[in-house]
Structure 1
Amino acid sequence: MPRFAANLTYLFTEVPMLDRPDWAARCGFDGVEVLFPYDQPMADWERALNGIPLALINTPPGDWASGDRGFAAVPGMELRFRDSFLRAAEYATRLNAASVHVMAGVAKGPQAEQAYVENLSWALAQAPELSLTIEPLNPDDMPGYFLNDYDDAARILDDIANPRIGIQFDLWHAARLHGDAAQVWQTHCHRISHVQISGFPGRNEPGGGGFSLPDLCDAVDARFPDLWISAEYRPAKGTAQGLGWLTALKSRGALLIGG
């Protein structure tokens, strides 16, 4: 059965951040992810997690309000990128995060791609115990973001040729970028190392958009058992009240295991 994680930046916002891991576990999630854990000390996170697996964190984005979205692909910001990555690596190592999503930043052009490849290669060498991801993001939600195409992401990963870095497949962004999220999955599933789900065309509870969540779970269970499937969506009402999708998928998995 696939493992399901709750994105604590989006879910359980009814309670303070450090209370959310416990809420997620009590609601049936197997683990959690958090976009930016850096506002809380690592020791506080250790107490809050209390053994609950941490599936993923992002590298620090910089000054979000001023437009920063990471630095990996931003020429001339190599030192800023390295400082931010080392901070992420420290959190990920201490909290046993399964993956670190390296944010590319706002940039474009060949120089940006060169900086991106060089910075990702440096990060892989600097933290040989960590698994990294890159994620294409749609320009409506993330204007100017360097990585906005799954084919480009695949080409960059092929150039780097390191099995410890993969694509972060987000149903919402894949559908917004390419129209057919199922086709994106079929084309790139062998490069995918983390999955995020939400509803489409609204970014609410998972479902819709012509994408079969049961089929996704079957594929992950059969071919990619180490992948986390993380819920990153905006609950239409209260988080706990909208978890019927999770109950259905986990019940289905239990029935399949039971024969």
Structure 2
Amino acid sequence: MKFSANLGFLWDDRPYPDRIRAARAAGFDAVELHWPYDDDPADVKAALDETGLPCLGLNTSRGDVDAGENGLSALPGREGDARAAIEQALDYAVAIDAANVHVMAGFAEGMEAEATFINNLQFACARAGGRGILIEPLNRYDAPGYFLKTATEAARIINAVGDDTVKLMFDCYHLQMMGGDLTHQLQDLMPIIGHVQFAAVPDRGTPDHGEVHYPYIFGLLDQLGWQTPLGAEYKDPRPTDETLDWLKTAREGRT
């Protein structure tokens, strides 16, 4: 099994180019970013080239974070801002050769919000240029009021968009918090999954504790033929280099 370091959380005490180098030194197979826009994409690309690590994706802008925004694409009346954020993310993805862009929905509800999200995703697909477009359900505890909460809702949105470019970001942490049954969800949704992330439940820490037995999940994904590196998106107050025992254990195939 291969693993990707989510550099939004890991080694977040340094610029993205240095996070990429740290991920390579730690033995990760890929990286993914959150919001790298303060870093020159040329510097990020140089670090990716230097390390040989592929970048699996990045997020669209959250919007006005100070005002409490967490994405724009399901907000009626904010289509201009949402599409500017999509184009910004795609331009950055092209510059660093990232595989996917995660289009963040934001805090919204109702049919108008759903129609807005679908339209903005169709806009993103039309401009993706061969890159993937991802959508991700966020759990109601960490992100109360976020438009997309469950994999079932995401599957409905993907079907409505009607373009194979858009896929589900299957975050085991968020989906376990929203009801679990990860085994059947992975089996049933595999055709529309574009990326998989993980962290311990319920504390979002390293994946070697908590209510999800990740050796089983990793083994299941292997049985299902999953080949893309799995995204380690966990939070830990310790320096990241002190949190990686789980990675050694997973590499050795131990439980």
- Consecutive unaligned residues of structure 2, counting only runs of 5 or more, are none
**1: distance between equivalents of 2:240 and 2:96?**
25
**1: distance between equivalents of 2:239 and 2:40?**
27
Provide Cα deviations, 1:99-131, integer angstroms capped at 9, x if missing partner.
111000111100000111111111101223110
Say whether 1:19 aligns with 2:18. Answer: yes
Give the conservation status (yes or no) of the 8 Å contact 1:174–1:184: no
> SS of 1:55's equivalent?
coil
Partner residue, 1:33: 32
Provide Cα deviations, 1:41-95, integer angstroms capped at 9, x if missing partner.
1112112323321111001111112111111111111111111101100111111
Partner residue, 1:59: 60
Q: TM-score, normalised by structure 1?
A: 0.90
Q: How far did 1:238 drift?
A: 2.4
1:235-254 → structure 2 map (5 Å cutoff): 235-252=236-253
Say whether 1:109 aligns with 2:110. Answer: yes
**2: distance between equivalents of 1:179 and 1:214?**
16
- Consecutive unaligned residues of structure 1, counting only runs of 5 or more, are 254-259
**1: distance between equivalents of 2:159 and 2:31?**
29
**1: distance between equivalents of 2:109 and 2:227?**
33
**2: distance between equivalents of 1:185 and 1:165?**
17
User: After alignment, is 6-15 or 74-83 more displaced?
Assistant: 6-15
Matched letter for residue 36 of structure 2? P
Partner residue, 1:211: 212
1:152-167 → structure 2 map (5 Å cutoff): 152-167=153-168
> SS of 1:35's equivalent?
coil
Matched letter for residue 98 of structure 2? A
Change (3 A) 1:102 1:83: same
**1: distance between equivalents of 2:13 and 2:85?**
29
User: After alignment, is 170-179 or 145-154 more displaced?
Assistant: 170-179
**2: distance between equivalents of 1:87 and 1:204?**
31
Provide Cα deviations, 1:3-41, integer angstroms capped at 9, x if missing partner.
211111111134443311111111110111111010111
> SS of 1:87's equivalent?
helix
Q: TM-score, normalised by structure 2?
A: 0.91
> SS of 2:115's equivalent?
helix
Change (3 A) 1:107 1:20: same
Give the conservation status (yes or no) of the 8 Å contact 2:198–2:232: yes
Partner residue, 1:48: 47
1:166-177 → structure 2 map (5 Å cutoff): 166-177=167-178
Partner residue, 1:189: 190
> SS of 1:194's equivalent?
strand
Q: How far did 1:222 drift?
A: 4.0
